[in-house]
Structure 1
Amino acid sequence: MTARTDRPTPETDQPHDLVGIGIGPFNLSLAALTHGLPTPITATFYDQRPAFHWHPGLLIDGASLQVPFLADLVTLADPTSPWTLLNYLRTRDRLFPFYFAERFHIQRAEYDAYCRWVSQQLPSLHFNHQVDAIRWNPQHAHFEVDFTQLDPHGEAEALGRAHTRNIALGIGTEPHIPEPLKPLTDTGTVPVIHSADYLHHRQQLLEAEHITVIGSGQSGAEIFLDLLRARPTGHEKLHWLARTPAFAPMEYSKLGLEHFTPDYTRYFHALPEAVRDQLVPHQWQLHKGIDHDTITAIHDELYRRTLHGGWPDATLTPGVTVRTAGRLANTRIELHLEHTQQGTRTRLTTDAVVLATGYRERPLDPILDSLGTHLRRDTAGRPRIDHHHRLDLDPTITGNIYVQNAERHTHGVGAPDLGLAAWRSATILNHLTGTTPYPLPQRTAFTTFGLTQNTGIPAQNPVLVPLIRGN
């Protein structure tokens, strides 16, 4: 492996305007909108994976997005972009079938294929590039981004360095396993699968005598339904456990959905830190509930299995926490359960477990290690992030580091929502360029989320005070 390249080349003799790290839907949205800027900027995006794939382990047949198709990569910022979902369908001669299907929510597999189509055409994207470190070069007033180029087998092939004035971090989330369930990850021959890998191990799970699904969100519901449909009537042998007090529907009322508007994001960002921290856990039904169609399909399938008498061998129990978990002779799993409301405890023995326990934001500290002393934090030690989605850095660093889907603590439940992807990308590009290539609406919700100070008059667009210096 050669030394890291740091010589001037046609690509590096001038720093980039933007380097994106990670190519998930959010940075892919940013790349697509960057490609359409009237005044071009130099931008490049890196991802260590060999190609774009969006949650491949959860592309269950028939599973749909929980947002309308207009929440593609670009439409809500620029419906004239060549990278809209509708244009993708046009290039596939599928506009008329889509029109007659009358579906506002597309299947996840179709969204994945659409994003891959975009990713294959944008020249600024570089897969098989693993970013290793970010540093600030005070002498030249730009960031240095060290990366390793990987071969098709994921092995290091060459080292490189990019220079840039601005960075967009879109490193995404990672599967989360609660502490009491972590012993299950070392269960020998017993299959314990996080929902992120469900399809890769589906057949192995179906061969188990008894299966337990843990988690009450959309993924848990879809996996339970898929397993239920695949098991013989009367011999389902399924358990579905959830901490929530009910298998609750997603809040999908029209006014409830306005929590995923820029208006609410601005309102939430302006709240005191302590208030924001109190709000997020109580808003779980806005983003962790189950859509009505899935709940209906589960009930319909269970009901169908009672038509000839008897009940399906499927147990659905909410309000349950797993206190501890472990192996039984390396062939089975024992879960120690507690019912929150009853205060009762019991044990459940099972042959396979699916952990539909969600995702957490990947920590930014490892990749920002060299910038640690320059990064300003809140009272909980989390990065402070301003309303332009920039990290709050001390004034000695004149470049910007924007973040995508790492700001739920500052911007609320809409941070991971696909419906705000184009708006956030446009916000970043408007700020980065100092112009308005993507005019954004001043008002996006009928709900007024707060009052202006002193007057008591409802404010549609409260004035926000930036957390860090303006550029």
Structure 2
Amino acid sequence: MNAQHIYDIVGIGVGPFNLGLACLTHPLNELSTIFFDGKNEFDWHSGIMPEGSTLQIPFIADLVSFADPKSPYTFLNYLKLHNKLYQFFIRESFFILRAEYNLYCKWVAEQLENVHFKSFVERIDYDETCKLYTLRVKQSEGDITVVTRNLVLGTGTTPIIPKFCQGYPEQVHSSADYSSHKKDYLNKKSITIVGGGQSGAEIYYDLLSEIDQHQYQLNWLTKAPHFFSMDLGKLTLEFTSPDYTSHFYSLDEDKRDQVIASQNVLYKGIELSFVNRIYDLLYQKSLHRPLPTRMMPNCALDNLEKNGNHLNLTFNNSDVNKRFKLESDVLILALGYEYKIPECLTPIRSHINWDSKGRIELNWNYSINDQNTIFAQNIGIYSHGFTVPDLGMGCYRNAIIINTILGREVYPIEKRIAYQEFAPLAEEMVPPVKTMLKSNNTELSF
């Protein structure tokens, strides 16, 4: 890596989205690319992978297939090269085990010489004259300097932990760290899970599976009005499409915020068959004796106090507007994830566009500056809709980024795949009609 060499793309962070970008740019000789990540190796949510948990989207939504199904980095090629293709076929499930998806991504990362781990980007500067970005990258063998024309931010999100829950590392954990703590949980007298999404559901099911063996009290609470399943009907799935993404982006900022607030059932719930598995397990486990478990919707955690070896958790039930307390040895927070702006961007903040609410403002092509030279992955639910973190839309976004940088359509972009129309055509829209009523000889306008 020569500091004098000018790259076309430097990717910061190597999760599935930037790893997919590395795959799709690899065969393009006209692009010089390099990707950095501070982790020791590729690792995607390995902390929350109870045995048997799967992705919630079909295997074709891998790193490359929606942009280039002939790529050597497809999941099917991974299976073929690892002598697993027939086994996957006989298994008769479109959904990849999460642990297997992680192995697949690790395999891909090992094939790419332009992907570098143990490489932390400390600072980014911009030269107005040369129109180039200079990155200072910390590596174990020493700092290096890299120069590029374009940046693609692929840093991941971090678990949401309320401030009042911080400072209790022995007893308060995020769902992202579940696997590393599970052995300790089995020896506790009481465990409380907060969060009603897929992660909370998988942890609850995993601990419920062993509840009669270890005899702990198991509580699962969510502030949502019910433990709801995601709407995965086929017409609903058309909302995870290029068509709907374009429509959503066309709305004004306030309208987008209003719409996304109403779409929890489309992306924040639990996979329906998994809801049914939880109920079946509850039924099975309670056949001979009452189960020491509580499931409570409409309950928001609003305080925590340490009491000896226990935690006193204060919740508010929104139905009756009453606060109550639960005692628990352990608290597992499955409240989702949030994006934090990398510190390395501080020197170039003035080159980034911000919306009226202080959020990074994304253009339609996922760039975040006027020059279309800084791009962002995994952020912008407020601008591009709930499909932003969806693995199935990663190829679509990466194709747009590549096409924008090269100024031509290297990877074709699907523009109309949905049967539904999310807005009338421009030529069909007419201004509001003024209603006229006549009262005696007077015309009244409304």
Q: Report the TM-score, using the length of structure 1 for normalisation.
A: 0.88
Q: 1:133 to 1:107 in 2, by over 3 A?
A: same
Deviation of residue 206 (structure 1)? 1.5
Give the Cα–Cα distance (whole angstroms) in 2 for the partners of residues 233 and 447 of structure 1: 50
Who is 2:182 aligned against? 202
Aligned partner of 2:142: which letter? A
Deviation of residue 106 (structure 1)? 1.0
- 1:185-196 equivalent positions in 2, closer than 5 A: 185-187=166-168, 189=170, 191-196=171-176
Deviation of residue 256 (structure 1)? 1.0
User: Is residue 125 of structure 2 the alignment partner of residue 132 of structure 1?
Assistant: no
User: Is residue 410 of structure 2 the alignment partner of residue 437 of structure 1?
Assistant: yes
Q: CA RMSD in A?
A: 1.6
Q: Which among 168, 183, 187 is matched to residue 152 of structure 2?
A: 168
Who is 1:351 aligned against? 329
Who is 2:67 aligned against? 77
Aligned partner of 1:377: which letter? W
Give the Cα–Cα distance (whole angstroms) in 2 for the partners of residues 422 and 36 of structure 1: 15
Q: Which among 24, 28, 35 is matched to residue 33 of structure 1?
A: 24
Unaligned stretches of 5+ residues in structure 2: 431-446
Q: 1:399 to 1:296 in 2, by over 3 A?
A: closer
Q: 1:187 to 1:64 in 2, by over 3 A?
A: same
- 1:304-319 equivalent positions in 2, closer than 5 A: 304-308=284-288, 310-319=289-298
Tell me, yes or no, if the aligned pair for 2:5 and 2:146 is still in contact at 8 Å: no
Tell me, yes or no, if the aligned pair for 2:186 and 2:214 is still in contact at 8 Å: no
Give the Cα–Cα distance (whole angstroms) in 2 for the partners of residues 305 and 109 of structure 1: 27
Who is 1:116 aligned against? 106
Aligned partner of 1:169: which letter? L
User: Is residue 433 of structure 2 the alignment partner of residue 452 of structure 1?
Assistant: no
Q: 1:319-377: CA deviations, max 9, x gaps? A: 10112111112x1000111110112221111111111111011225x332112223222
Identical aligned residues as a percent: 37
Q: 1:442 to 1:188 in 2, by over 3 A?
A: closer
Who is 1:11 aligned against? 2
Tell me, yes or no, if the aligned pair for 1:141 and 1:399 is still in contact at 8 Å: no
Give the Cα–Cα distance (whole angstroms) in 2 for the partners of residues 258 and 392 of structure 1: 30
User: Is residue 159 of structure 2 the alignment partner of residue 159 of structure 1?
Assistant: no
User: Is residue 365 of structure 2 the alignment partner of residue 384 of structure 1?
Assistant: no
- 1:10-409 equivalent positions in 2, closer than 5 A: 11-37=2-28, 39-150=29-140, 157-178=141-162, 182-187=163-168, 189=170, 191-232=171-212, 235-308=215-288, 310-329=289-308, 331-364=309-342, 366-393=343-370, 398=371, 400-409=373-382
Q: Report the TM-score, using the length of structure 2 for normalisation.
A: 0.93
Aligned partner of 1:56: which letter? S
Give the Cα–Cα distance (whole angstroms) in 1 for the partners of residues 302 and 83 of structure 2: 53
Give the SS at the match of 1:147.
strand
Tell me, yes or no, if the aligned pair for 2:225 and 2:298 is still in contact at 8 Å: yes
Give the Cα–Cα distance (whole angstroms) in 1 for the partners of residues 417 and 344 of structure 2: 35
Deviation of residue 236 (structure 1)? 4.3
Q: 1:241 to 1:105 in 2, by over 3 A?
A: same
Give the Cα–Cα distance (whole angstroms) in 1 for the partners of residues 169 and 24 of structure 2: 47
Deviation of residue 286 (structure 1)? 1.2
Give the Cα–Cα distance (whole angstroms) in 2 for the partners of residues 234 and 125 of structure 1: 44
Give the Cα–Cα distance (whole angstroms) in 2 for the partners of residues 373 and 130 of structure 1: 22
Who is 2:433 aligned against? none
